Amino acid sequence: MKAYCEMSKEELAVLEKELKAQYEEAKAKGLKLDMSRGKPAAEQLDMTMPMMDIFNRNCDMRDEKGVDVRNYGNLEGIWGARRLLGEMLGVDPEHVIVFGTASLNVMYDTVSRSVTHGVMGSTPWYKLDKVKFLCPAPGYDRHFAITEHFGIEMITIPMNEDGPDMDMVEKLVSEDPAVKGIWCVPMYTNPLGITYSEEVCRRMADLNPAAEDFRIYWDNAYCVHHLYEDKQDTLPELLSMCRANGKEDMVLEFASTSKISFAGAGISCIAASLGNLEWVKKSMTIQIISHDKINQLRHVLYFKDLNGIKEHMKKHAAIMRPKFEMVLEIMERELGGLGIATWTKPLGGYFISFNSMDGCAKEIVQRCKDAGVTLTGAGATYPYKKDPHDSNIRIAPSYPTMEELRASGELFVLCVKLVSVERLLEK
C-alpha cells in the first residue's frame, strides 16, 4: 500500500471520505469496550481459583517455621513468603519484606516516608527547597501520579530501545543533589514492553549520586510475565550489582503477585539492603503490627516455589499471547507501510506502545471513545500527562475477549488512519 505521505492532496481527500464513511459505520455498531488498563481477564483470574480451596476450618495455620499466621507478629512477613518472592526476584529472603496486596501501595509509602522522615537518617524531603525525580518516559502513569501528589518535580528522561538515556541520567544524578530518585520498570516496561539491557543495568548500578539519599525505584512488576517459552528477555539482578559496587543502599526493588494470582489481592514486597529494610521497618512498627499472613501462607502453599510460579505463568501466557499477536497482526496488516505509525512488539508484560504521527494521539483516543472503545488517555505515559509530541498511546490487550479485542483493534487502526489523513490534509 502507498505511504500516506506520498499521496497527492486529491488522493488524500478521496481516502478521507472513504475512512469517514467507515468510521460512521463503526460508530453505529454501539460498541462499549474498555482497553484502558492492563487488567487480567476473568479467564486468567479463574485459573487461580483453586488457591481458594487451600484452607478450611481444620487446616494447620502455621507456616514452615511454626508461626501461627492467624495472630499478630512477623512484621517482615512469614519466611515462606519472603523466600518465594525472593526467588522470583533472585535475592535472598533476608533482603525481602512482604507487605499487603499491592506494590503500588508500598511505593507510595516509601515516597511518603522519605518526605516526612527522610531516608536512613537524611533530611526529610519536606524540609528541602526542591526535590526532583527522574521519570523515564513513556512510563507508568501511576508512578508519575505518586511523585506529582507529593509535589516532587519530575524530569522526563527519554527512553531508548535498551532503556533510559543513561548519559542524561548519569549527568543529572551526579550533578544535582535535589535529584532523589528515578522510577524504573526494568523488564517488559510499561508501556514499551522492552527490557533494560545489561549495559544500562551496569551503568545504573554504578551511578554516583550527589545526594546520599538518592534511590533507584526498581519496580520489577513483570519479571515472570513472558509471552513465549522459547523467546524471553532476561534482566540482571540489580541489588547484587549495586552491592558489588559498594552501593547496595542505592536500590529499592518492588514486586507483587497482583497479575500472577489475584489483581488487588496478591502479596507484595520490597527487596533492598538490610540498612534500607531497617529504615522501612522503623516506621512500619508505628504503621502496622503485621500484614495479612493468612494470604501470604495461602500463596506459599499454592505456588510452593519459583517453579510453581513459572508453571502458573505459562498458563497466563497461553491466554495473553494470542491477544498480543492479534493486535500486532491487525496493526501490521492495516498500518504497515503507510508511514503513519510505529509500535513495539514485546515478548512479555501487559502493554504495546504505539506511536502515531506527531499531534495525533489525543484525537485518535477521542475518536475511539466516541465510537465506544476506551483507551488509556493520550499523554498518560508522560509526567504531568504532557506528551511533547502528542504521539504515544498505550495499548492494553489483556482484558477484552478475543472477539472484543478484534473489534477494538479494527476500530483503533481505522481511527489512526482517519486522523492521520486529516492531519496531512491540514498541512
The amino acid sitting at 89 is L
Dist CA 303 CA 47 (whole Å)? 13
In angstroms, rounded to a whole number, what is the distance separating the alpha carbons of residues 1 and 21? 20
Phi-psi region of 122 (alpha: psi -120 to 50; beta: other; left: phi over 0): beta
Q: What one-character DSSP code corresponds to residue 186?
A: -
- List, in sequence order, every residue forming a beta bridge with 342; answer none if it has no partner: 355
Report the C-alpha gap between 217 and 200 in whole angstroms.
Answer: 15
Cα dist from 368 to 171, 251, 381, 419, whole Å: 40, 40, 18, 11
What one-letter code names the amino acid at 370? D
pTM of the model: 0.96
Tell me how far CA of residue 174 lies from CA of 130, 147, 350, in angstroms. 16, 21, 33
For residue 388, give the amino acid letter: P
pLDDT at 1: 72
Q: Cite the residue boundaries of each domain of the chain with CATH code 3.40.640.10.
A: 61-304
Residue intervals of the chain classified under CATH 3.90.1150.10 are: 4-44+310-426
Each residue's pLDDT tens digit in the chain (427 positions)?
Answer: 789 999 999 999 999 999 999 999 999 999 898 888 899 999 999 999 999 999 999 999 999 999 999 999 999 999 999 999 999 999 999 999 999 999 999 999 999 999 999 999 999 999 999 999 999 999 999 999 999 999 999 999 999 999 999 999 999 999 999 999 999 999 999 999 999 999 999 999 999 999 999 999 999 999 999 999 999 999 999 999 999 999 999 999 999 999 999 999 999 999 999 999 999 999 999 999 999 999 999 999 999 999 999 999 999 999 999 999 999 999 999 999 999 999 999 999 999 999 999 999 999 999 999 999 999 999 999 999 999 999 999 999 999 999 999 999 999 999 999 999 999 999 8
CA angle in degrees (0–180, nearest 5) for 301-307-310: 105
Per CATH, the architecture of 61-304 is what? 3-Layer(aba) Sandwich (3.40)
Burial of 98 (0-12, 13-18, 19+ CB in 10 A): buried
**Bridge partners, 218 (sequence order):** 184, 253
* CATH number corresponding to 4-44+310-426: 3.90.1150.10
Looking at residue 83, its pLDDT comes to 98
